[in-house]
Amino acid sequence: MSDIDETSPRPATAAADRFDPTGTLLERMGIEVTEASAERTVGTMPVRGNTQPAGLLHGGASAVLAETLGSIAATLHAGTGRAAVGIEINATHHRAMRDGVVSGVATPVHLGRSVATYEIVITDDQARRVCTSRLTCMLVDART
> How are strands ordered across the β-sheet holding 41-46?
32-35, 41-46, 101-111, 115-123, 129-141, 82-93
Catalytically annotated residue among 27, 35, 67, 88: 67
Phi-psi region of 49 (alpha: psi -120 to 50; beta: other; left: phi over 0): left
Number of helices (H), then strands (E), belonging to the chain: the values are 3, 6
For residue 134, list its beta bridge partners.
90, 119
For residue 120, list its beta bridge partners.
106, 133
35 classed as catalytic: no
Which residues carry out catalysis? 67
